[in-house]
Amino acid sequence: MRFISLCLALAFSFSAQADDTSRFMMPGDLIENTGQGVASHAIYFPQMRFPVESGPAYANSHAYAPGGFKGNGGSECDPANYSYPWRDNFCEFRKADLPLCASGGHQGQDIRPATCEASKHWAVAAEDGIVAHVGRFGVTIQSPTGTLYRYVHLDMKTLQVKPMDKIAKGSRIGKISNNWLGPLPIHLHFDAKDTIMLNGEPKAVFLPPYTSLVASYQLIMD
Amino acid sequence: MEFAKVALAATLLAATTAAPALAKNGVERVPTDIDWSAAKIAAKRSLARDPEAVEKFVAATNGTLRTVELPVLIFGSDAKMETPQFANQKSAYVAFYTLEGAQVSILGSHTVLTGTEDLTGHHQAVAYESIGSGADYNLNRYGAHYTIRLTCDNPIKDVRCRKPEFLNSVVQTLLVVNGAAQ
């Protein structure tokens, strides 16, 4: 009886996630005319912890959305920006095209925290590692195997770490804000760089983080 | 018993049709082979070329270099930077430099992700790439992989972050210092 219950519970769980298009649009499905995404379903960082301490959070473009610099006006706090479903924006148009993007150069994923408030919600470490780089706008964590996780637009006054600190997966780094040279919607720019074999040669590239974010988000929310 | 079979079948069916996030991965991380012979020769040359930078760095690291599983690269004296802060993660390391109005890290590792054949190289992966708040410079040496990450307090005005010349020039000073096999 216990076996049957377990099977049914698992079946229900898988089915529920299969129907999760209400929360997550498909990888590579960018807003129309904003670049050509990467449609891979592979999870490149399966061990990753979701980089925001608690949910809900909303992965979507900060630029091509209400209140964004290419969003045709509106408010960054528009409820549409703080609603499901998530939308991939790796490869979204930027100055230059990335190696893995047919067109577009956004190196990571924009993530809005639960509410439209700066310096309230914590960004946390995706893996154990070292605080490898601290600049004026953000932080890079290097995992023990060399993955570089970058967190940009943090409120650096709230920073809990300094260069060369050891950091544990899930530990607080700093609060998500809109720290930049000019006006910017409140969001975390999160990206991940690693070495892959590309055309037969090892190359350090920014990888699509969307599927890893979906998987890690499900772990903290479901 | 029949019901149990149906339940098991339902589980398997649901699992195989689950969301993209549950897709089975072929992605794996594998260590790369280091060419220690070449690295040792380069380390000897580095010591001969720039003994002050090498010796200062080795002294500052308190023996921790011996467990780094890849050759450690640092900038030479011509880059005009102070001795970096250093962190050893065995399969990876960080050397962090603070400059006036800018920051630079040398980030080394010796693993590669395989099973990424679903990714297509649409554009050449060049050494220098802008990262908004600065730039990265990527290089492979002796079987290990290095990203040099530069950020500036004002990345729009600071020429070090706007143009590749600064990173290109400091890369020319790189020294091979040490590693586990030396």
Nearest chain B Cα distance for residue A158, angstroms:
17
Query: What integer is the mean pLDDT of A193-212?
Result: 95
Report how far residue A130's alpha carbon sits from residue A185's, in angstroms, rounded to the nearest whole number: 28
Q: Is A205 touching B (CB cutoff 8 A)? A: yes
pLDDT at A157 over 50: yes
Classify residue B3: in a domain, yes or no: no
Q: Quick one: which of A204, A217, A193, A211 has its CA closest to A37?
A: A211
Measured between beta carbons, the chain B residues lying within 8 angstroms of A134 are: 103
Classify residue B17: in a domain, yes or no: no
Instruction: Give the side-chain half-sphere CA count within 13 A for A167.
Output: 30
Percent of residues, chain A, with pLDDT higher than 90: 86
CB A167 within 8 A of CB A131: yes
* pLDDT tens, position by position, A116-147: 999 999 999 999 999 999 999 999 999 999 99
Q: What is the pLDDT of residue B5?
A: 53
The DSSP output letter for A144 is T
Q: What is the pLDDT of residue B94?
A: 98
What is the rounded average pLDDT for all residues in chain A? 92
* pLDDT tens, position by position, B149-177: 999 999 999 999 999 999 999 999 999 99
How many beta-carbon pairs below 8 A join chains A and B?
220
Confidence of residue B181 (pLDDT cuts 50, 70, 90): low
Residue ranges per domain, chain A? 27-221
The tokens for B122 are: 């649409």
Decide yes or no: CATH 3.40.220.10 for domain A27-221: no
Q: Which domain holds residue B85?
A: 29-116+124-178
Measured between beta carbons, the chain B residues lying within 8 angstroms of A219 are: none
Q: What total of structural domains would you count in chain B?
A: 1
* pLDDT tens, position by position, A5-33: 444 444 444 344 445 889 999 999 999 99
pLDDT at A217 over 80: yes
Nearest chain B Cα distance for residue A15, angstroms:
6
Q: Is A7 touching B (CB cutoff 8 A)? A: yes
pLDDT at B34 over 60: yes
* pLDDT tens, position by position, A53-91: 999 999 999 999 999 999 989 999 999 999 999 999 999
Q: What is the pLDDT of residue A199?
A: 83
Which residues contact residue A12 at a Cβ distance below 8 angstroms, ignoring those fewer than 6 apart?
Answer: B14
Distance of CA A114 to the CA centre of its chain: 14
Q: What is the pLDDT of residue A16?
A: 42
